[in-house]
Amino acid sequence: MQNNIQSTPATSELALLPFLAWLMASVSLGLSLVLNEGISLAPLFLLCTFFVLLFAKGSWVSDRLDGWLMASFVTYFLSMLLFVYLDGWHTRELDRPVRFLLAIPVLFVLLRLPYKRDLLWYGVMIGALGAFCFAVYDRWILGLDRANGFEHPIMFGNTSLLLGGLSFCAFLYFKAQKGWHKLTVFALLAVSCGVFASLLSGTRGGWVSLPIIVAFIFWQSRDLLDKKLRIWGSCLLIALSVVIISVPQFGVAKRLHEVVTDIERYQSGDFLYNSVGQRFEMWKAAVYMFNMSPLLGVGEYHSVEIKQELADEGLISQSILRFSHAHNEYLTSLSLRGLIGLFFLIVVYLVPLKLFLRKMHLHHHNWNVKAYALAGALIPMSYMDFALTQSMFSHNIGVMFYAFSIVFFWAATRWVEHFQQAKHI
- Residue 11 clears pLDDT 50, i.e. is over it: no
Question: Taking a C-beta distance cutoff of 8 angstroms, is the pair 29, 125 a contact?
Answer: no
pLDDT surpasses 80 at 326 = yes
DSSP H helical segments within 117-274, as ranges? 119-136, 153-178, 182-201, 204-207, 209-220, 227-246, 252-267
Lowest mean pLDDT among 180-189, 243-252, 300-309, 370-379: 243-252
Residues 308 and 314: their CA atoms lie apart, in Å, by 10
Q: Report phi then psi at 118, rounded to 5.
A: 75, -5
Q: Taking the model in full, what pTM does it have? A: 0.93
- Is residue 423 scored above 70 in pLDDT? yes
Cβ neighbors of 373 (< 8 A, separation 6 or more) are 356, 357, 359, 360, 363, 409, 413
Q: Are 391 and 399 in contact (CB under 8 A)?
A: no
pLDDT at 239 > cutoff 90: no
**Confidence (pLDDT) at 243:** 66
pLDDT of amino acid 391? 95
Note the pLDDT of residue 12.
Answer: 47
Give the residue among 213, 216, 163 at the shortest CA–CA distance from 192: 163
The identity of residue 412, as a single letter, is: A
**φ and ψ at 216, to 5 degrees?**
-65, -45
pLDDT score, position 248: 65
CA separation, residue 131 to residues 134, 157, 390 (Å): 5, 9, 20
C-alpha distances (whole Å) from 225 to each of 172, 365, 375, 416 are 9, 12, 17, 22
Average pLDDT estimate for 78-99: 96
Write down the pLDDT at residue 37. Answer: 86
pLDDT at 356 over 90: yes
pLDDT at residue 98 greater than cutoff 90: yes
Sequence letter at residue 94:
L
What is the chain's percent helix, strand, coil content, to nearest 5? 75, 0, 25
Burial of 245 (0-12, 13-18, 19+ CB in 10 A): middle
Nearest in space to 397 (alpha carbons), one of 208, 152, 163:
152
- Greater confidence (269 vs 337) lies with 337
Task: Please give the pLDDT value at position 4.
Answer: 64
pLDDT value of position 7: 53
Largest CA distance in the chain: 72
CA torsion angle 93 95 100 102 (round to 10): 150
The mean pLDDT value for 260-277 works out to 74
**Nearest alpha carbon to residue 93 among 102, 103, 101, 83:** 83
Window from 34-43, 115-124, 408-417 with minimum mean pLDDT: 34-43
**Does position 362 have pLDDT exceeding 50, yes or no?**
yes
Handedness of CA 193, 196, 202, 204 (dihedral sign): positive
pLDDT number for residue 246: 66
Alpha-carbon span 158 to 177, nearest angstrom: 29
- Measure the CA–CA gap between 98 and 93, rounded to whole angstroms: 9
Does residue 3 register a pLDDT over 70? no
Give the model's confidence band at 1: pLDDT under 50 very low, under 70 low, under 90 confident, else very high. Answer: very low
Residue 15 confidence (pLDDT): 75
What would the pLDDT profile of 14-60 be if each residue is shown by its tens digit?
678 999 999 999 999 999 999 988 899 889 999 999 998 988 877 77
Evaluate if residue 302 carries a pLDDT over 90: yes
* Three-state SS at 129: helix
Tens digits of per-residue pLDDT, 245-267?
666 666 666 766 677 787 777 77
pLDDT of residue 58: 75
Per-residue pLDDT band at 133 (split at 50, 70, 90): very high
Per-residue pLDDT, averaged over 177-184, amounts to 90
